[in-house]
């Protein structure tokens, strides 16, 4: 199972909106609404911020939103804040009943 494709880096100024794409295939992202997103600041464990494509766990700010179209899922961070600087990973369920992660995107707040 190949990793999902994410841009290596995305940057934005405070207050701006950024979007991270996550491209898979018809065997994973395109076939299931089981996409999740994780935030990982340096030196810490990942944190679940989106599940089931669009849903936020309790405690995650509504600045974070998810969507999906075809084989590509997206994470949008609105009103970018300095604390959002981290690595972000997407993940999708696959036809093998196993998950696959994206390669990760480093978000920089300028």
Answer yes or no whether residue 97 interacts with other proteins by CB under 8 A.
yes
For the chain, the straight-line distance linking the first and the last C-alpha, in angstroms and rounded, comes to 35
Answer yes or no whether residue 22 interacts with other proteins by CB under 8 A.
no
H helices present in 1-110, as ranges: none
Nearer to other proteins, 13 or 97 (CB): 97
Answer yes or no whether residue 106 interacts with other proteins by CB under 8 A.
no
Q: Which residues contact 88 (CB under 8 A, 6 or more apart)?
A: 6, 20, 37, 38, 39, 40, 75, 104, 105, 107
**Stretch of residues binding other proteins (CB under 8 A), selected from 18-26, 48-56, 68-76, 77-85:** 48-56
Q: Which residues contact 15 (CB under 8 A, 6 or more apart)?
A: 79, 80
Answer yes or no whether residue 108 interacts with other proteins by CB under 8 A.
no
Nearer to other proteins, 84 or 102 (CB): 102
Binding-site member from 45, 62, 69, 82 for other proteins (CB under 8 A): 45
């Amino acid at each position: 199972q190949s990793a999902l494709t994410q841009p290596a880096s995305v940057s934005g100024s405070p207050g701006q909106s950024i979007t991270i794409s996550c491209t898979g295939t018809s065997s994973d992202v395109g076939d299931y609404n089981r996409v999740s997103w994780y935030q990982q600041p340096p030196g810490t464990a990942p944190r679940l911020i989106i599940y089931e494509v669009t849903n936020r766990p309790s405690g995650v700010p509504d600045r974070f939103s998810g969507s999906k179209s075809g084989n590509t899922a997206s994470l949008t961070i609105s009103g970018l804040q300095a604390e959002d600087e981290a690595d972000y990973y997407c993940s999708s369920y696959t036809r093998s009943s196993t998950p696959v992660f994206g390669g990760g995107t480093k978000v920089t707040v300028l």
